[in-house]
Structure 1
Amino acid sequence: MQDSTIKEGKKLAIISYITFVGLIIAIIMNLEKRNQFTLFHIRQMFGLMIMLVFSNLVEQYVNSLLGTAFWIITFTGWVLAIYSAIKEQYKPIPVFGEKFQEWFKNIN
């Protein structure tokens, strides 16, 4: 991608990682520009939100320790993803990042 695309989308990419509200704000603000860097990070955060819901359900209904392990994995993915946005990189989170891009390609 072009450096100008990344520079323009960096702020919204970072905002997308600040809770669910930040994700919604980033989606709405990116509707007009359709910045590819921002869209990449929106898809990553959308997948992380699904992982967070899954880990909470596992913790509540299956096993507390297993749910906590899933939560730690999700949190680690979030840290790696926001670091990638700050460093202006298209770097998907390990294991699921590429799948998130594939599964949520309709988010644009």
Structure 2
Amino acid sequence: MGQYPGNQYPGGQYPPQTSMPWPYPVMPQGGYPGAMPNGRGAYPISPTPHSKLAAGLLSIFLGCFGVGNFYLGRTGRGVAQLMLTLIGFPFFFIGPTIAMIWGLIEGILILTSSAGSFWHRDARGWELTD
């Protein structure tokens, strides 16, 4: 409790029911206490970590549809791969071939990545489990 720039409360104090300003400057690790209806507990920030093996295999085998990127939360890349496959299909399979090569390379990079690298993280920046 103390001063916070732009505080709207008199005396610079937060209201008694909160200890941090709203919106929170950072997410607490345990989630937001009491955020679930009927007091069922804290709202989880990440329900489960993503698997490196699953992400790599999905990228290799279903990469032309963007499944590996959708799994990791990179929806923009997933949509790009899917659109490349769907739009490029009538044009002599050029689009799907490019998307398959893209997925194959991404899958190999994910499977061979080490902790801390870009390919060893999901879209939120969480490390993949080995």
Q: Under a length normalisation based on structure 1, what TM-score does the superposition of the two structures give?
A: 0.40
Higher relative contact order (CA 8 A, sep 6+): 1
Instruction: Report the structure number with the largest CA radius of gyration.
Output: 2
Name whichever structure is richer in helix by fraction. Answer: 1
Q: Under a length normalisation based on structure 2, what TM-score does the superposition of the two structures give?
A: 0.35
